[in-house]
């Protein structure tokens, strides 16, 4: 075989390799583009899922192993929170659905942001009602869970004046207030449901007690059980509110109203109340539900509570 023939054969082989290489490049590009599109689709579904799950549950489902996502039922001591808007059902028939949904979503968005800030697991929304628990799926300690829950409730309560103004500007003249109930106790936590639909939630007597505390609280009030109070007593000012009877619970439940964080009031002099050796001076209060800011409300409420306690 002469050199010319060998050269032609080598050129033919090179041409074939070049065509094969180009085919591989083209095919790889197609696969890469397909993978990019699939990743975009997966991320879109993950973003949608994120909106329907609490951050803790989202991380557990998307970032955990198979064993972690199929959590067995556990017995845990949790702090449970319930809230609802006072008189909400009375306005649902008189307000346009678009306005109502916008204002309710605004309220739930603010409440959810506060819950996430303090590490609460948002269990569910039931209309205007919210159920949150602390201590699962991630656990720290009982005192931290109870304190974070109560701090969350106080911040939620203090955020209502700004939300009330938003509602009024939107056309809902309702005087936005909510009722809050908090209890601590052992519950069963885990996945409940069917093969097609599962919920990560909690069941047990303490859940019913927390719900009952919410219904028993007055407008704008945070009502907690003695089980919760015993964990946060050194940090939170409370006052007794008597006992309630809960179906399925053999003994009455002691209840306490949350006033404020102790440090919030002790670190500053209250401008509305001054104590001396003879008693106290309660200065004139001017409260306007539209113009009085949350800080002034807290100071007024604290002054009145302390004055009443001194009188008793």
Instruction: Kindly give the confidence (pLDDT) of every residue in the chain, 312 residues in length, as a single tens digit, with 9 standing for 90 and above.
Output: 566 667 776 777 777 777 777 777 777 777 777 777 777 777 777 777 777 666 777 777 676 544 444 556 889 999 999 999 999 988 888 889 899 999 999 999 999 999 999 999 999 999 999 999 999 988 899 999 999 999 999 999 988 988 988 998 998 988 899 999 999 999 999 988 888 878 889 999 999 999 999 999 999 999 999 999 999 999 999 999 999 998 888 899 999 999 988 865 544 567 788 776 677 788 888 888 777 877 778 788 878 877 777 776
Rounded CA separation 149/151 (Å): 5
Q: Count of alpha carbons within 13 Å of 202, Cβ hemisphere only?
A: 31
Out of 3.40.50.970, 3.40.50.300, 3.40.190.10, 3.30.70.1230, select the CATH number for domain 70-265.
3.30.70.1230
Residue (of 64, 183, 195, 91) closest to 134 by Cα position: 183
β-pair partners for 185: 78
CB 138 within 8 A of CB 56: yes
CA distances from 300 to 44, 94, 157, 219, 280 (A): 48, 34, 15, 17, 15
* Distance separating alpha carbons of residues 146 and 148, to the nearest angstrom: 6
The closest alpha carbon to 201, from 212, 189, 218, 210, belongs to 189
- pLDDT for 266 equals 46
**pLDDT value at residue 153:** 97
Give the pLDDT score at 17: 73
Q: Say how many C-beta atoms besides its own lie within 10 A of residue 74's C-beta.
A: 13
- DSSP label at 248? T
> What pLDDT score does 180 carry?
97
Find out whether 167 and 135 touch, Cβ atoms under 8 Å. Answer: no
Q: What is the pLDDT of residue 267?
A: 47
Q: What pLDDT sits at residue 312?
A: 60
Q: What confidence score (pLDDT) does residue 71 get?
A: 56
Provide the greatest CA pair distance for the chain: 124
The strand pairing partners of 250, in sequence order, are none
Burial 219-252 (b: 16+ CB within 10 A, else e): ebbbbbbbbbbebbeeebbbeebeebebeeeeee
Cis (ω within 30 of 0) for the bond into 137?
A: yes
Domains of the chain, by residue range, sit at 1-52, 70-265, 268-311
- The whole-angstrom separation of Cα 241 and Cα 254 is 8
Structure tokens at 48: 């949608």
């Amino acid at each position: 075989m002469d050199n010319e023939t060998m050269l032609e054969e080598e050129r033919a082989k090179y041409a074939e390799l070049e065509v094969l290489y180009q085919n591989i490049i083209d095919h790889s590009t197609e696969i890469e583009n397909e993978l990019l599109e699939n990743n975009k689709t997966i991320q879109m579904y993950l973003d949608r899922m994120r909106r329907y799950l609490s951050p803790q549950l989202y991380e557990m489902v998307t970032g955990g192993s198979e064993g972690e996502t199929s959590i067995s039922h556990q017995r845990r001591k949790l702090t449970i929170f319930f809230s609802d808007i006072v008189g909400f059902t009375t306005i649902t028939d008189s307000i346009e659905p678009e306005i109502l949904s916008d204002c309710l979503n605004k309220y739930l968005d603010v409440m959810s942001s506060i819950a996430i800030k303090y590490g609460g697991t948002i269990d569910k929304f039931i209309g205007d009602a919210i159920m949150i628990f602390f201590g699962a799926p991630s656990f720290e300690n009982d005192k931290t869970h109870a304190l974070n829950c109560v701090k969350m409730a106080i911040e939620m309560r203090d955020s209502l004046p700004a939300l009330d103004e938003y509602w009024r500007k939107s056309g809902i003249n309702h005087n936005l207030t909510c009722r809050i109930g908090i209890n601590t106790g052992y519950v069963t936590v885990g996945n409940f449901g069917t093969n097609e639909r599962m919920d990560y939630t909690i069941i047990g007597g303490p859940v019913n007690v927390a719900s009952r505390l919410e219904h028993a609280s007055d407008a704008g009030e945070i009502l907690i059980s003695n089980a919760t109070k015993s964990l946060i007593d050194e940090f939170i000012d409370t006052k007794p509110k008597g006992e309630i009877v809960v179906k399925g619970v053999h003994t009455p439940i002691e209840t306490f109203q949350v006033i404020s964080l102790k440090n919030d009031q002790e670190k500053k002099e209250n401008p509305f109340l001054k104590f001396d050796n003879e008693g106290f001076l309660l200065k004139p209060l001017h409260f306007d539900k539209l113009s009085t800011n949350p800080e002034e409300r807290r100071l007024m409420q604290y002054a009145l509570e302390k004055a009443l306690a001194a009188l008793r």
